[in-house]
Structures are given as structure tokens and as C-alpha cells.
Amino acid sequence: MDPIFATAALWLALAVVSALIAAHLRLSIALIEICLGVAVAALAGWLPIEHVLAADSDWIRFLASSGAVVLTFLAGAELDPQVMRTKLQEVGMVGLIGFLAPFLGCAAVAFSVLGWDAKASWLCGVALSTTSMAVVYAVLLETGFNRTEFGKGLLGSCFVNDLGTVVALGVLFAPFTYKTLIFLAGSAVAISSLPRLTTWLTRHYANRTAAIRTKWVMVVLFGLGALALWSGSEAVLPAYLAGMVLAGSAARDTHWIRRLRTLTVGFLTPFYFIRAGTLVSLPALLAAPLILMVLLVAKVVSKIFGLYPVISLFRRERNERWYYTLLMSTGLTFGTISAIYGLAHEIVTQEQYSYLVAAVIASAVVPTVIAGAAFVPTHLLPEGSHLGKPARRINGPSEEG
């Protein structure tokens, strides 16, 4: 048997099992995929499947990265420009506090409680300041909140939060070189011209050539991603901006965005979420679980204490406030990226890196499970949402065909 096909079959089998478990437990598929990745990585040391799992192979990393990039693009495309304009104050305040509170709080805890040096402590603050756009969007997609003004405002706040993380990582650690200028200039030109070029391409060729608009968007996303990585930035940031500028076009053609969503959620994102789970080393965490708990509590508590009072200014209903706050307390993509950056540049040690990644992934699971179990604002659910009702099929509203 070809090892690549065997590996792909194993990963997609894990995705199917995750969908079945999520349907019965009524939890986010993304969270189940992360937890299953942790379990499979732990079993890989006992069963002869590590070579088949191949979590560090180039093609698995490529599919996982592609899933993160396209999912981030879709999250940006869900933003309604009109809603964003009317919610500018809410998005700005919530996103800024959502970054600053854990950035300062977690850095202080790492330095004063855990005894990390200054650079490692600041890196800790950056890694744990994030909000997971991928997890939040996946949850909103499954519940149907992505179609509501509540969900769109939450996505906007996530973007501002993660933008603060990216800026902090660049200012504190990444060198500002001519590559950075080229990336900023190239991204500005490409993103500003993207709506016009996409409209022209759609008008002249969308109904003649198979999926040309999807191919065009993929070219832009991968091209900007390559430029971002070359400059020392990350591929998901321009992907989100590209999605934002095409949000109007996506709103006019929901069938196209739903087909792209099916490809992403059905094939690409399982590789991203399951691989994120495989990054956790259970033996290392079991050796010193208190450090993981300190980092996780520092992140979630600083997020809650910073965000809940601010969100209360815009959301009066209790479940809305807590659901908003807890989803903003998640972390995954940028947190893991920041930790990997710190390890690659010797800002943190291998042990510190393991604790950071584990805390980031735990923050993707714990707040979201609590939010989904106790604080779903069901009065805001759109008509037809399956949440809170017995599951009759495994595919949620995010899947087509």
C-alpha cells in the first residue's frame, strides 16, 4: 500500500470519527479533532502507527497550513462591511483589551511566578494573548452564529486581537528589514486590487471555466502567504485581509462561498486541527502539570477580567456576555506560531515551548467547551440551527453535498 494514501486514509478516518463524536456530544468538531490528535499522538508511542501518522511530514504540514490559511480567509469573508462599520467601537475596544490584558498578565506571571527570563516572559505574553480565529470561526460556523451580527462582531474583535499579537511579535522580536517593507507594499497593492480583479474575472469567466474564481483566490492566498513567510511574517494575516476585502462579493454569491467552505471544512481543516493536537507531549506535561495549569489559568483569567467588563458595555444579556468572553479566551493558530517562533530563535527552551503549546491548545478546548455547555445565547440562533436539538445527521450547517 502506498504510504501516502495510507496516511491520508488514517487522518481522514480520524476526521470522520471526530464528526461522529461531535454530533453525539453536540460539541465543535474542531475541538474534538484537537483532542483526538492529542490522544493519537500519545498512542503513537505504544502502537506501531507513528510512521503512518507522519505528523511532521512536509505534505501534512502543507495541508494543515493550507487549512489554516483558507479557513482564515473564510472568516474574513464572513465579515459584513456594514456591520463592521456600525460595530467599530465594540470591535476596537474588545479586540484591544483582549490582546493587552493577557499579554501583560501572562508575561508578568511567567516572569514573577515561573521565574522565566525577560525575553521568554514577553514571548509567553505574546503567545497567550491570542484569540483563535480558526476555532472561533469553526464554532460559529457549526452553530450558525456566523450569519448573525453577534457572530460577525465577535469575528471582528478576534481580528483586532490577533492583529495586536502580530504587531507585538514583530516589534519585540522580528527584525524590521527591507523584506518587511516589500511584504507590506506587495500586500497593500494585491489586496487593494483584489476586489476589482475578482469582479472582472467573475463577470467574464465564472460561468465558462470550472471553478476559476476558487483557483484565482487560491493563487492570491498562496502567493501572499509565500511573500509573508519570506518576510518573516505569517501567511494567515494577509489571508484574513483578503477575505475582508472580498466580503461584499462573498455575500452576493453565497453558493460559491459555501462550496469553498465545504472543501475547507471537509478536507483541509481536519489536518490542521488534528496536527495541532499531535504537538502536545503528554509525558512532558505529566512531569510538571502545575506549570501548564499556571499558564492556562493566567491566560483565561486575564482574558475574563479584562474582557467581561468591556463586553458588558455592549451586551446586556448574561449568556451573550459570557459566550463572547469565553470564545475570545481561546487560542490556537497565532499562539502556536508565536511559540514555534520563540523556539526557532532560541527565545524559549524546548520545555518552555512545550508548556506554551499545551497551554495554547488547552485554551482552545476548555473555554469553548464551557461556553458551549453553559452559555449559548440560544435567543440569537438563526432559524434552522441544529444547536440544542437532537442530531439527526453528522454534517452541520457548514457542510454541503
Q: How many helices (H) and strands (E) does the chain have?
A: 20, 0
Query: Which cell goes with 52?
Result: 503512518
> How distant, in Å, are the alpha carbons of 233, 303, 314, 373 from that of 193?
21, 37, 35, 43
- Four-residue CA torsion sign, 390, 74, 158, 177: positive
pLDDT at 386: 57
Give the model's pLDDT for residue 396. 38
Q: What is the pTM of this model?
A: 0.77
pLDDT of residue 313: 95
pLDDT of residue 50: 67
- CA 186 from chain centre, in angstroms, equals 24
d(CA 70, CA 47): 33
Q: Supply 350's cell numbers.
A: 524546548
What phi, psi does 98 have (nearest 5°)? -60, -25
* Whole-number Cα distances in Å, 119 to 126, 172, 335: 11, 9, 16
Cβ atoms 230, 216 nearer than 8 A = no
Rounded Cα distance between 24 and 13, Å, is 17
Q: Supply the Cα-derived Rg of the chain in whole angstroms.
A: 20
CB 343 within 8 A of CB 353: yes
Rounded Cα gap, residues 300 and 121, in angstroms: 17
CA 389 to CA 370: how far, in whole Å?
Answer: 18
The predicted structure's pLDDT at residue 261: 86
Domains and CATH numbers, the chain: 3-379 (1.20.1530.20)
Q: In 179-218, which positions are buried (b, 16+ CB within 10 angstroms) versus exposed (e)?
A: eeeebeebbeebbeebeeebeebbeeebeeeeeebeebbb
Q: How far apart are the C-alpha atoms of 317 and 236, rounded to whole Å?
A: 33
Q: Distance between the two ends of the chain, CA-based, in angstroms?
A: 29
Grouping H, G, I as helix, E, B as strand and the rest as coil, residue 156 is helix
Q: How far apart are the C-alpha atoms of 214 and 262, rounded to whole Å?
A: 12
Residue 39 CA to chain centroid, in angstroms?
Answer: 21
Asked if 2 and 9 touch (Cβ cutoff 8 Å), the reply is no
- Of 368, 332, 344, the closest CA to residue 29 belongs to 368
323 closest CA partner among 170, 136, 196 = 136
pLDDT for res 400: 37
Report in angstroms the alpha-carbon separations of 356 from 192, 277, 338, 369: 36, 13, 9, 20
Instruction: Provide the angle, in degrees to the nearest 10, between the axes of the packed helices 269-278 and 3-25.
Output: 90
Q: Per-residue confidence of the chain (401 residues) as pLDDT tens digits?
A: 568 898 899 899 999 999 999 888 777 787 788 888 888 888 877 776 667 788 888 999 999 989 888 988 887 787 767 777 788 899 999 999 999 999 999 999 999 999 999 999 999 999 999 998 778 988 898 888 988 889 989 988 998 898 888 788 878 887 678 888 999 899 999 999 999 998 888 888 876 666 788 899 999 999 999 998 888 777 877 887 898 888 877 767 778 888 888 889 899 989 988 888 887 777 777 888 899 999 999 999 999 999 999 999 999 899 999 999 999 999 887 888 788 888 878 899 888 988 998 899 889 889 998 999 899 999 998 876 655 443 333 333 343 33
Query: What gap in Å lies between CA 115 and CA 59, rounded to an integer?
Result: 38
